[in-house]
Structure 1
Amino acid sequence: MNKPSSCVRRALSLRPCAFAVLSLAAACAAHAEQPMQPLLLAQNARMPSLQDMVVTATRTEQPLSDLVADVSIVDRETIEASGATGVADVLARLPGIEISRNGGVGNATSLFVRGAETRFTAVYIDGVRVDSQSTGGAQWEQIPLAQIERIEVLRGPAAAVYGSDAIGGVIQLFTRKGEGAAAPYVGVGLGSQGTRKLEAGISGAIGADKALDYSLGLAHARSDGFDAKTSGAHNPDRDGYRSTSGHARLGYQVNASHKLDATLLASRMNSAYDGFTHKPASPVDDRNHSRLRTAGLNWAAQWTQAYSTRVSVTDAATRYETTPSPYRTETNLRGYLWQNDYRLGAHRFSAALERREDHLNNPALDAWSTTLNRSRSQDALALGYGYNAGGHTVQINVRHDDDSEFGGKGTGSLAYGYALTPQWRATASVGTAFRAPTLYQRFSEYGVATLRPETSHNAELGLRYAQGRSSFSATVYRNRLSNLILFSGAGPCASTFGCYANVARAQYEGLTLAASHHWAGVQWHGSIDLQNPRDLANGKQLARRAKRHATFGADAQLAGWTLGAELQASGRRFDNAANTNVLGGYALVNLYASTRLARDYTLLARIDNLGDKAYELARTYATPGRTFYVGLKWAPQ
C-alpha cells in the first residue's frame, strides 16, 4: 500500500493519454463530413441532448450547447446503473472529482473538485443551499441518493453568481419532477454485507392542461457493513448503517406566465463508526446520527417574451450527533432570492438580490464543552451579462456580498468562447471567489472573530469538440488561494490547545482530458486528471489528493442487455500535510448489466471492485472490498 501499483502507473502514464487524444483526433477526422450540429461544451456521464437545459452555470436556464463553463450532467439512468449508495460515489466517476471517506457509507465523506476542499464547493438541492457552519461545506453522507433524479456539476469558481463558498465549483441536485400520466414505481435490491434497499414513489400531472404536477418518493436502505478500521485499538464489530429518506414536490401552472413550485426533502442516517478509544472488556457501539431537511418555495413569472423573474424562499436544516460520545451540531440556512432576466436578441442581462441567514447551535452536552449559539447574514447584489452570436460567446458576472460580521466582498468573472468550427470551440475564463469563515471558526473556543474570508483567483483555458456521439475536451486551470484558514497554534482564542488562523496559501492547478466516442457498437468514455494541488508555503502535496486520477468506461447493447465496465484509478496520495503518511495508488474494475425482464420490470446486477483490491481513502480506515448488488424495479410503461 506504500507505492502505486504497476496497473495504476500504466493507466495514468502520459503515453496512454497521448494515445487517447490521437485516437480521438482520428475519430474526429473520420466524422468530418457528417452533418454539422451545435457544439457540446461539457463532458457528461452519459451523453444527453445538446438542447438539454442547464441552470447551474448562470442560475438561468440555458441550452447545454450555449455554455462556456465546464459542466457535467448525471441523469437518473446513470445513477441507477451506478449501483451506488452515496451521492459522492457517483460524483467520483466524473472528471475532476475525488472523494475521501472515513470507513463505509454514512461516515465522514470529503469531496474534492479540482483539488479544492469540501467547503469550497457550493451545494444546492432543488435550489436550496446546503452547508454546515460547523465543519464547513455540505455533509455528503447526509444527502440521500435515492431521492435524486439529476445532478449538474460546474467545475471552477462561481462566486460572482452564487456568493460565498463557490471556489472550486457548484453542484446542484434535483429531485424527481412530475409530468404526464401517473407514473408509480417500486424498487427492491439486495447486496453484499447484508445490504437491502426498498424504494417507492409516484409522479405525474393532473388537471386542465396538466397544470398541477406532483412527485413523491420514499426509500429505506440498510447494511450490516464492514469493520471501518484496519488497524489500531478499535471495536472489531461490523459498522453498518440505516438510512430513511423521502421527498415531495408540487408545482402549479397558474397560467401561461406564472408557475408556483414547492419542494421538500428529508433524510435520516444512523451509521456506525469506530471511535479513538476502545476497551475490550466493555466495547462501545459508536454511532453517527445525521438529519437533513430542505424546503423551498418558488414563483416564476414570464412578464413579457423578454423579461422574466423568479422569487425563492428556501430553508435547510442539518444536524449531526454522535452517541454515546456526546456531541451535537445543528446548522440552519434561510435564503431569499429575487432573480431578474432580460433577453434582447443575442444579449442576456440578469440582476439578482439575495439574502442568506446562517445559524449554528452547538449545545454543551458534557462538563468539558461549551454552548455555541450564533447567527449571521449576507446580503448581495449580483449582475450578469451574456452574449451568444456569430460563433462568439461572452459571459460576464459581478457580485457584491455584505456580511454582517466582516463587511463587504466583491467578486467577478469573465468567460469567452469562440467556435473555431461548428465542432470545435476554444474557451478562456478568469474569476475571483471567496469563502466566509464559518461561525464555528469565528466564535467557538478555538475561534477568532477577526478571521478574514478565504479568497481565490482562477484562470482556465479549454478546447472542446462535439460531433454526433463523440466528444472531447481539454481544460487547463490554475486556482490560487490566499488567507486559507487552518487550525494553528496558540493565539487569541479561548483555547490553549490552538486557534483557527489565516495562515496558509494553496494552489490547485491541472489538466483535465475527457472524451466519449461510439465505436464498434460500444460507447467508450473516460477522463484523465493530471493535477498538482499543493501548499504554496512548502510545496507539499495537499492531503488526500492524487496528482493523477482517471476513470474509463464502456457501454454496449447485446441481446436485450445493457452491459458496462468501468475502471477507476488513482495515484499515490498523502494522508497528512507533512506528506509522511502515504496512501497507495489503486485501480478498481466495476461491471454492471441491466435488462428489461418484462414490459414493466427492469433487472440490474453489479459487481464493484472486481479484483477485491485492498486500498484506503483515509489512513487506517477500511474500504468495502468486492461487493455484489442485484436490484429489481417495477415501473409501468
Structure 2
Amino acid sequence: MNQMYTTALGGLLVLSPLSMAMAAEKSVFQLPKINVVANLVEQNNADTLAAVTVIDREEIERKQFNSLQDLLRTVPGVTFTNNGGLGKVTSVSIRGTNSKHVLVLVDGLRWNAATAGSSSFEFLPIEQIERVEVVKGPRSSLYGSEAIGGVIQIFTRKGTQEGIKPFASLTYGSHETYKANAGLNIKNNKNWANLSVAGMKTQGLDATAAPVETDKDGYENYSVSLNAGHQFNDQLSVDMNALHIEGETEIDNTGGQEPYTKLIESVYGVGLNYQANHLWNTKLKVGYSQDKQEGYIKTGLDNVYETQKETISWLNTLAFNENHNLILGTDYLKDKISGINGPSLFDKKSRDNFGYFAQYLGNINNFDIEAALRLDDNEQYGNHTTGNLALGYQFNEALKTYVSYGTAFRAPTFNELYYPQDEWGGGNPNLNPEESENIELGFKGNIGNVNWALNGFRNDIDQMIVRWPAINVDKALIKGIEVELGQAIGQFDWNINYTYQEPENRSGDNKGKQITNIPQQILNLSADYNFDKWIVGGAVHAEDKRYSADNKSYMGSFATADVRLTYQATPELSVQAKLANMFDKEYQTTQGYNQDGRTAWVTLRYAMK
C-alpha cells in the first residue's frame, strides 16, 4: 500500500479514541471566525465569497506549532518546500502556484525581497504571531502584484485583555533546540500595547541528504515586536507596529568554505483611523520593511543583499447601510535594493508603483455581490488593470454557494529584470508582468453543527517568466478541489481538509507534465479533546509525490503523525508535550534536503489571566 496512505491510516488509529469520545458530547456555540484579508474589511468567514482560513493564537498554542511553515501546511491547498529544517530556505505554494505568486503581508505591510521576490517564512518566529489569515484565489484587484495564488496576512502579537498581563514560554526539543518568549500585554481605558521578545537556538540537522558535509547546520534567531495604540475619542485612533528579527543560519557546502548567513528582517508601520460619521471611515497607514542578508564564508564577508519597501496606503469605507458598502483606496510602493557583490551589479536599484482601486460589497435579499477593480501604474512596466467579480446565494444556514472570476498579475523582480548576463543568461528589462485568470465555484455551510466547505478552482497563468535567460514564455493550468469539515462538540474539536489539484505545465519542454515541487494531493486531520485540566490531541499531514527540478525524478509521497498533550496546572500555568513525526518517516520537500524525523518537544507556558 502507498506509504502516504499507510501512515495516514496509522494516524487515524491514533485519533480514533478521540473520535469515539466525541460521539458522547453535546454541541456548543462557537464564535464565528473573522477575517480582514479577503476584502480589507472585517467579515465573517462564513459570509466571505472566497476560501478563507484563520488560525489564531489559541489554536497556535493548542496545536503547538513549531514554525510558521508548520502552521501554514495545515491550511487547505497550501504546501511548502524546505532546504533542511529550521531556519533554512522555505517557499510556500497556494493551490499549485509558485512562491512568487503568493502575496505575504505582516501587519498589513508587504514582506518580500525585491531581488528574488520571495518571503523569508523561515525567519519569522511563531512566538511573535497573534493570528494568520489566508485567502485563496486572486486578490490583485485589491492588493496589486503577486496575489495570483492567494494572500497570507500575518498579525504580530496584540494585547486584548484589560490590565497589565505578563506572559512567557520556554521550550526544549530535539536537536538541542531552546526557545524562549516573554512579553507584556497592557490595556487600560483608551490605550493598548503589547511587547514581546523571543529567541531560539538549535544545532539543527544535517541539511543535505547527499554527503556534502556531515555536520549539523545550526540556526539562531532573536526578535522583538511591539504593537501599541491610543483611542483619542469615539472617532479618532492611532496605532503603530514594529517587528525586528536578527539571526544566523549555517549552510551545507562542498567547497570547505563553511558558509553561513546573517539576517535582519524588519517591519515598521504607523496608522491612523478616523470615523468621520456613520457613513465614512478612513484609514491611513505608512510603512517600511527591510530584508537584509549577509553571506559569509571561511575567509570572511562574501556578499550583502538588502532590499527595502516604503509604503503609504489610504483606505476609505463608505457604509451606506449594513447591506451596501463601497471601498475606495490608493497605495504607493517604492522598492529599493542595495548591498555589495550582488545588488551593486544591477543597472537599476529602485522603482515606484501607484495603485488605485474600488470595491463594492452588497447584499440584496439572499444574494451577495463582490466587485472590485484596480489600476497599477508602475515605473518599470506601465499600467496594469485587474478585476474580480463574485456572486453568492444563501439558500439557508446549511448551504451557501458562490461563483467568482478574477484576474491577477505578478510584476517581474529585480533579478528577473536587471541581473547581469552571464553564460547561463540573465535579466531582461523588457519583461511584461505574469498574468492569470481564475474561476472558482464554492459551497459552504453548517449542518448539524459541522462547518463544511467545498471549493473547485481553475487558474490559467500566462506570460510566466523563465530564467535563464529571463523571458515571458511559460504557461500553466491548475485545476483542483478542496474539501473542509470541522466541528466543536462539547470539549472536542476536530477538522479535516483534503486537496486534489492538477498543476500542469502548458508550454516548453515540460508541456503536459506536472509542475515541479507541487503534490497533487494534500490531506490534514486534527483532533483535540479537553477534559478536566488536560487537552490531548493529534494530527496527520499527508502529501502525494512531487516531481523534482528535472521533471523526471520525483520525491515520494509521505505522511506524518503527531500527538500532543497539555496539562493546565493552574489557570495561568500549563505544561505541554509534543511528539512530531512519531513514526519517524523519512521524506523530502526539496530534492537532496533532509526533513525532521521523529522529534520531541516540551513547553512550559505562563499567561496571567
| Residue 372 (structure 2) aligned to one of 375, 389, 397 | 397
Please report the TM-score for the alignment, with normalisation by the length of structure 2. 0.92
- In structure 2, how many angstroms separate the alpha carbons of the residues matched to 1:245 and 1:520? 38
- In structure 1, how many angstroms separate the alpha carbons of the residues matched to 2:560 and 2:279? 50
| Residue 344 (structure 1) aligned to one of 308, 317, 320 | 320
Structure 1 position 420 matched with structure 2 position 402: no
Distance 1:240 1:81, change over 3 A: farther
- In structure 2, how many angstroms separate the alpha carbons of the residues matched to 1:562 and 1:518? 14
- In structure 2, how many angstroms separate the alpha carbons of the residues matched to 1:53 and 1:310? 19
Map 1:3-22 → 2, pairs under 5 A = 4-5=2-3, 7=5
Distance 1:514 1:226, change over 3 A: same
2:95 alignment partner in structure 1: 114
2:180 alignment partner in structure 1: 198
Q: What whole-Å deviation, never above 9, does each CA across 1:340-389 have from its counterpart, x for those lacking one?
A: 110112110011111111112242279xx835651001111101101124
1:589 alignment partner in structure 2: 561
Distance 1:587 1:9, change over 3 A: closer
- In structure 2, how many angstroms separate the alpha carbons of the residues matched to 1:551 and 1:125? 25
- Partners of 2:4 and 2:558 within 8 A in 1: no
Distance 1:331 1:556, change over 3 A: same
Please report the TM-score for the alignment, with normalisation by the length of structure 1. 0.88
1:299 alignment partner in structure 2: 272
- In structure 2, how many angstroms separate the alpha carbons of the residues matched to 1:452 and 1:192? 47
Q: What whole-Å deviation, never above 9, does each CA across 1:268-295 have from its counterpart, x for those lacking one?
A: 12111212x23xxxx4432122211000
Quote the offset at 1:122 in angstroms. Answer: 0.9
1:374 alignment partner in structure 2: 349
- Partners of 1:9 and 1:571 within 8 A in 2: no
Q: What whole-Å deviation, never above 9, does each CA across 1:600-637 have from its counterpart, x for those lacking one?
A: 21111101000000111111111110000000012122
- In structure 2, how many angstroms separate the alpha carbons of the residues matched to 1:454 and 1:268? 33
1:95 alignment partner in structure 2: 76
- In structure 2, how many angstroms separate the alpha carbons of the residues matched to 1:448 and 1:82? 45
Map 1:113-512 → 2, pairs under 5 A = 113-179=94-160, 180-206=162-188, 210-232=189-211, 234-275=212-253, 277-278=254-255, 283-324=256-297, 326-345=302-321, 346-364=323-341, 370=345, 374-445=349-420, 446-467=426-447, 469-488=449-468, 499-512=469-482
Quote the offset at 1:235 in angstroms. Answer: 1.8
- Partners of 2:409 and 2:434 within 8 A in 1: yes
1:617 alignment partner in structure 2: 589
- In structure 1, how many angstroms separate the alpha carbons of the residues matched to 2:55 and 2:113? 25
Structure 1 position 85 matched with structure 2 position 31: no
- Partners of 1:120 and 1:137 within 8 A in 2: no
- In structure 2, how many angstroms separate the alpha carbons of the residues matched to 1:288 and 1:203? 33
- Partners of 2:416 and 2:467 within 8 A in 1: no
Q: What whole-Å deviation, never above 9, does each CA across 1:488-546 have from its counterpart, x for those lacking one?
A: 3xxxxxxxxxx211110011210001101346963221111100111112111111111
- In structure 1, how many angstroms separate the alpha carbons of the residues matched to 2:223 and 2:506? 42
| Residue 536 (structure 1) aligned to one of 506, 518, 533 | 506
- In structure 1, how many angstroms separate the alpha carbons of the residues matched to 2:374 and 2:198? 39
- Partners of 1:8 and 1:585 within 8 A in 2: no
Distance 1:519 1:82, change over 3 A: closer
- In structure 1, how many angstroms separate the alpha carbons of the residues matched to 2:377 and 2:6? 47
Q: Which amino acid aligns with 1:163?
A: G
- In structure 1, how many angstroms separate the alpha carbons of the residues matched to 2:382 and 2:455? 35
- Partners of 1:361 and 1:372 within 8 A in 2: no
- In structure 1, how many angstroms separate the alpha carbons of the residues matched to 2:374 and 2:525? 38
- Aligned residue for 2:163, secondary structure, equals coil
Q: Tell me which moved more, 518-527 or 477-486.
A: 518-527
- Partners of 1:4 and 1:571 within 8 A in 2: no
- Partners of 1:605 and 1:629 within 8 A in 2: yes
Q: Tell me which moved more, 191-200 or 465-474.
A: 465-474
- In structure 2, how many angstroms separate the alpha carbons of the residues matched to 1:619 and 1:85? 23
- In structure 2, how many angstroms separate the alpha carbons of the residues matched to 1:139 and 1:119? 12
- Partners of 1:291 and 1:318 within 8 A in 2: yes
- Aligned residue for 1:598, secondary structure, equals coil
Q: What whole-Å deviation, never above 9, does each CA across 1:187-220 have from its counterpart, x for those lacking one?
A: 11111110111110001223xxx11111100000
Identity of aligned residues (%): 27
- Aligned residue for 2:582, secondary structure, equals coil
Quote the offset at 1:82 in angstroms. Answer: 3.4
- Partners of 1:198 and 1:220 within 8 A in 2: yes
- In structure 2, how many angstroms separate the alpha carbons of the residues matched to 1:526 and 1:543? 26
Distance 1:11 1:504, change over 3 A: farther
Q: Which amino acid aligns with 1:547?
A: Q
Runs of 4+ in structure 1 over 4 Å off: 8-12, 518-521
Q: Which amino acid aligns with 2:206?
A: D
Structure 1 position 525 matched with structure 2 position 495: yes
Q: Which amino acid aligns with 1:380?
A: G
- In structure 1, how many angstroms separate the alpha carbons of the residues matched to 2:175 and 2:260? 18
- Aligned residue for 1:193, secondary structure, equals coil
- In structure 2, how many angstroms separate the alpha carbons of the residues matched to 1:81 and 1:286? 37
Distance 1:599 1:265, change over 3 A: same
- In structure 2, how many angstroms separate the alpha carbons of the residues matched to 1:568 and 1:116? 20
Distance 1:531 1:338, change over 3 A: same
Quote the offset at 1:72 in angstroms. Answer: 0.4
Q: What whole-Å deviation, never above 9, does each CA across 1:378-421 have from its counterpart, x for those lacking one?
A: 11110110112422111000000000011000000001110111
1:57 alignment partner in structure 2: 38
- Structure 2: give runs of 5+ residues left out of the alignment: 13-18, 421-425
1:491 alignment partner in structure 2: none
- In structure 2, how many angstroms separate the alpha carbons of the residues matched to 1:105 and 1:203? 28
Q: Which amino acid aligns with 1:266?
A: H
- Partners of 1:239 and 1:272 within 8 A in 2: yes
- In structure 1, how many angstroms separate the alpha carbons of the residues matched to 2:4 and 2:567? 35
| Residue 629 (structure 1) aligned to one of 590, 596, 601 | 601
- In structure 2, how many angstroms separate the alpha carbons of the residues matched to 1:287 and 1:358? 26
- Aligned residue for 1:182, secondary structure, equals strand
- Partners of 2:390 and 2:404 within 8 A in 1: yes
Q: Which amino acid aligns with 2:445?
A: Y
- Partners of 2:8 and 2:560 within 8 A in 1: no
RMSD: 2.3
Quote the offset at 1:11 in angstroms. Answer: 6.2
- In structure 1, how many angstroms separate the alpha carbons of the residues matched to 2:579 and 2:335? 42
Quote the offset at 1:305 in angstroms. Answer: 0.8
- Partners of 1:248 and 1:265 within 8 A in 2: yes
Q: Tell me which moved more, 553-562 or 528-537.
A: 553-562
